[in-house]
Amino acid sequence: DAGITQSPRYKITETGRQVTLMCHQTWSHSYMFWYRQDLGHGLRLIYYSAAADITDKGEVPDGYVVSRSKTENFPLTLESATRSQTSVYFCASNAQGDTQYFGPGTRLTVL
Amino acid sequence: AQSVSQHNHHVILSEAASLELGCNYSYGGTVNLFWYVQYPGQHLQLLLKYFSGDPLVKGIKGFEAEFIKSKFSFNLRKPSVQWSDTAEYFCAVNPTGANNLFFGTGTRLTVIP
Confidence of residue B43 (pLDDT cuts 50, 70, 90): confident
Environment class of A109 (CB within 10 Å of its CB; exposed 0-12, middle 13-18, buried 19+) = middle
How much of chain A exceeds pLDDT 70, in percent? 98
The nearest CA of chain A is from the CA of B21 a distance in Å of: 15
Residues of A in contact with B106 (CB under 8 A): 42
Confidence of residue B2 (pLDDT cuts 50, 70, 90): low
Residues in chain A, overall count: 111
Candidates A82, A42, A78, A41; CA nearest to A61 is A78
**Helix, strand, coil in percent for chain A, rounding step 5:** 5, 55, 45
The nearest CA of chain A is from the CA of B105 a distance in Å of: 4
Statement: residue A88 has pLDDT above 90: yes
Containing H/E element for B100?
none
Candidates A90, A68, A67; CA nearest to A77 is A67
Concatenate the DSSP letters of all residues of A68-94 into one string.
-SSTTB--EEESS--GGG-EEEEEEEE
Per-residue pLDDT of B68-112, as tens digits, reads: 999 999 999 999 999 999 999 999 999 887 778 899 999 999 999
Per-residue pLDDT of A9-24, as tens digits, reads: 999 999 999 999 999 9
Q: Is B72 left (phi over 0), alpha (psi -120 to 50) or beta?
A: left
Which candidate in B8, B43, B47 is best for mutational testing of the A interface (most A CBs within 10 A)? B43
**Average of per-residue pLDDT across B45-57:** 94
The nearest CA of chain A is from the CA of B81 a distance in Å of: 23
Q: What is the pLDDT of residue A2?
A: 62
Statement: residue A55 has pLDDT above 60: yes
Environment class of B65 (CB within 10 Å of its CB; exposed 0-12, middle 13-18, buried 19+) = buried
Please judge whether A102 and B43 are an interchain contact, meaning their C-beta atoms are less than 8 angstroms apart: yes
Cα distances (Å, whole numbers) of residue A76 to A4, A28, A34, B25, B28:
15, 18, 8, 29, 31
